[in-house]
Amino acid sequence: MNAGTQASGGPKLFRKKTIRDVDVQGKRVLVRVDFNVPLDAGTGRVGVADDTRIRAALPTIDYLRSRGARLILVSHLGRPQDRDPALSMEPVGKRLAELTGARVWQAPAVVGEEVERRADRLEAGEILLLENSRYEPGETGNDPKLAEGLAKLADLYVDDAFGAAHRAHATTDGVARRLPAVAGLLLEREVSVVSSLLDGAASPLVVVLGGAKVSGKIGVIERFLEIADAILIGGAMCFSFFRAQGIATGDSLAPEEGTELARRALELAERSSCRLELPSDLVIGDSFSAQAATRIVEGTDVPDGWMGLDVGPRTAKAYADEVGEAATVFWNGPMGAFEMEPFENGTRIVAEAVAETSATTVIGGGDSVAAAERYGIVDRIDHISTGGGAALQLLEGKPLPGVEVLQDA
């Protein structure tokens, strides 16, 4: 954590209009938020298990309410089949009311005449929470009729859903083409911070990558090979690299399609001044289970019948040291199957190093953020991104549809 400077790229990295540039007094403002939160159905009454994403939207919500806007909020929640009542926004609305102190009305649907009537009746500072946008089949298909129905509800559209900005859906794209459309404060900050990693990050820039899916992250590796000082690979991802090098990976998670991608990254790395580092030791288990028999292997050969489930202690220490000497750190993807205690050490040691370094630190990715919470380091990180997929897409250098569609500043 860098105490002196915030991990903010400043306004120059964000070239879209925001809510600060428009007059919202008395207007019906449709805000696309990312309230795709985990629910816990524990005692029969469904509640919000983790309200981080709701709290992340509060700066925008408070800003708009304090300036007399009438708020209509929309988000998706999970992947409902039809209108599965278990994925209703109702528990989210309750939590939102507690967090904002606002009057929160629950809409009975996403669009339609009844929803329009309720939007019209809203008083300044009140909130109407629409139902789960994925109750509408037209959401993911970016259906013009759904976008039209959403546009009818409001005078202004605000996108504050960084976690959904990589998708061109009716609530992130279609409706934004039918109303004046600007960014919320969370979206602005997320895009600015993530973009600042690619544009002017203080050196040494150390990138720690792990997790399960190499295919979704290879573009990011290629991009960082051009600008970072070191890329430290852990998680299941390293086995794609080992396979590409002809090293035995036993039963480790190493999907075939990752091998070719890893081979290409290794080739690029040879011509790059950025170091691409792989683990030098591993923790292996005889099954994907917290009860598995475990062993530490020096070197990286994984015997048949075993799988690599964490980086070893030597690797964890080496990665932590590099993080400690960095000026900027980006971490995405756990170092091992950290949800199981025997395989959590690598992730914990790296997490603690990211918390303790004097570097500016950014963490992205749902499971990496879960790890940061588990090890109690959230408050010591400069920026925790609410959007894993969107952050990676931005880091690959690909535009985000949800941002592109907004008005230019």
Distances in whole angstroms, Cα of residue 115 to Cα of each of 38, 110, 224: 26, 7, 46
Residue 337 site contact among ligand ADP, Mg ion, none (CB < 5 to 8 Å, cut-off depends on kind):
ligand ADP
Least spacing, CB of residue 282 vs ligand ADP, in Å: 8
Residue numbers 243-272 binding ligand ADP by CB under 6 A: 253
Tell me: does residue 235 bind ligand ADP (CB under 6 A).
Answer: yes
Residue 213 site contact among ligand ADP, Mg ion, none (CB < 5 to 8 Å, cut-off depends on kind):
ligand ADP
189 is an active site residue:
no
348 is an active site residue:
no
- How many Å apart are CA 70 and CA 52, to the nearest integer? 23
Query: Which residues contribute to the site for Mg ion (CB under 5 A)?
Result: 366-367
Least spacing, CB of residue 372 vs ligand ADP, in Å: 10
Q: Is 23 exposed, middle or buried (0-12, 13-18, 19+ CB in 10 A)?
A: exposed
Q: Which is nearer to Mg ion, 309 or 406 (CB)?
A: 309
213 is an active site residue:
yes
Give me Rg for the CA atoms of the chain: 22
**Long-range CB pairs of 35-39, under 8 A, 24+ apart, other chains included:** 35/73, 35/75, 35/77, 35/89, 35/92, 35/96, 36/75, 36/76, 36/77, 36/78, 36/163, 36/164, 37/77, 37/92, 39/77, 39/78, 39/86, 39/87, 39/91
The distance of Cα 133 from the centroid of its chain, to the nearest Å, equals 19
Tokens of 262: 């890893």
Which of 263, 366, 374, 380 is catalytic? The answer is: 366
Residue 309 site contact among Mg ion, ligand ADP, none (CB < 5 to 8 Å, cut-off depends on kind):
ligand ADP
Which of 213, 263, 314, 380 is catalytic? The answer is: 213
* CA-wise closest residue to 393 among 156, 181, 166, 70: 166
278 SS3 class: coil
389 is an active site residue:
yes
- How many Å apart are CA 257 and CA 274, to the nearest integer? 24
Residue 387 site contact among Mg ion, ligand ADP, none (CB < 5 to 8 Å, cut-off depends on kind):
none
Binding test (CB under 6 A) with ligand ADP, winner from 367, 381, 390, 406? 367
Least spacing, CB of residue 172 vs ligand ADP, in Å: 20
Tell me: does residue 233 bind ligand ADP (CB under 6 A).
Answer: no
Q: Which is nearer to ligand ADP, 35 or 239 (CB)?
A: 239
Kindly list the residues in this chain that would bind ligand ADP in the complex (CB under 6 A). Answer: 210-213, 235-236, 253, 308-309, 332-334, 336-337, 339, 365-368, 388
Any idea which residues carry the catalytic annotation?
53, 213, 366, 389
